[in-house]
Amino acid sequence: MTTLSNSLGADTGTASLTSAAGGEVSDFFALLKPRVMVLVIFTALVGMVVSHATVNPVIAAISLLMIAVGAGASGCLNMWWDADIDALMTRTAKRPIPDGRIRPDEALAFGIVLSVGSVLILGLASNWLAAGLLAFTIVFYAVIYSMWLKRATAQNIVIGGAAGALPPVVGQAAVTGHVGIESLILFAIIFIWTPPHFWALALVKSGEYARAGIPMMPNVAGPDSTRRQIVWYTLLLAPLGLAPVALGFGGLLYAVVGVLGGLGMLAGAVQVFRLREGEPERKAAMGLFGFSILYLFLLFSALLAEQGLGLFRAVVA
């Protein structure tokens, strides 16, 4: 594994990375990608709740915390490896490493310690299946996706999306000791949701990705092909989002959210397909990007309300 200081190169103008030292606590927290951590905590919690397992609440809380820490650790390692390209993109240039607030070696050590610690504590507090799944998630995101897929193929988001889809599986394994159909369905929903969600943003940011040398789909296959793929993935996502209803762990509330949300996703994808120039194109893409976040949040919130708060009402009596 090459060191980050070697990979940055003099032409990036980030030589200060090797001399900066000792960031603030907030800088180290930023390395954990806190917004992603919130999503991980939320989806892992839903994976636990739909399992209907009897578990000590302290063990469940520790497990959820370690899943979050593991996700943060993988985000930290991702920022360590990607600091060279982060420095070239306006969306990421102010992250702690390219901005010179955290040294690369500090970030690497921080990420490794959190990775090992989260896996060990999860294994000791819960079970080693959950710990193994968490370890796989960290390695997949930090190594397979960040160090290989992201810079090697336009399918980076498609394949790499597996890492972001695994928290419900880890959550279910933590409270049951096994992986069931419920968490696998949640995994599939997030996995299929990821390409239209991220490619919508990539359509807007394609120039920055090109400058950073990242082979995102709009830069490799072109924006028109990307728009078509967004539509196809959304056509898969809309019915897949209703799978929990068909399998009996999604009720009436979930069905309503799933139908309306799926239609909203399809409408947004069609707008992205239709509007291809100027400000309308940008608004359509960012609109789909924003709505996709709301869609996933509402889907999982409906499951949490039904299974965790006793609001479940069967669609078919």
Asked if residue 192 lies in contact with residue 237, where contact means CB atoms within 8 angstroms, the answer is yes
pTM for this structure? 0.90
Structure confidence at residue 7 (pLDDT): 35
Per cent of the chain over pLDDT 70 is 93
Local confidence pLDDT in tens for the 317 residues of the chain? 333 333 333 333 333 444 444 678 999 999 999 999 999 999 999 999 999 888 889 999 999 999 999 999 999 999 999 999 999 888 888 999 999 999 999 999 999 999 999 999 999 999 999 999 999 999 999 999 999 999 999 999 999 999 999 999 999 999 999 999 999 999 999 999 999 999 999 999 999 998 889 999 999 999 999 999 999 999 999 999 999 999 999 999 999 999 999 999 999 999 999 999 889 999 999 999 999 999 999 999 999 999 989 899 988 76
Structure confidence at residue 212 (pLDDT): 87
Structure confidence at residue 14 (pLDDT): 39
Structure confidence at residue 53 (pLDDT): 87
Structure confidence at residue 18 (pLDDT): 42
Structure confidence at residue 22 (pLDDT): 61
Structure confidence at residue 91 (pLDDT): 83
Contacts 24+ apart (CB under 8 A), 92-96: 95/30, 95/31, 96/23, 96/27, 96/28, 96/30, 96/31
Residues 6+ apart with CB under 8 A from 8: 14, 15, 17, 83, 84, 87
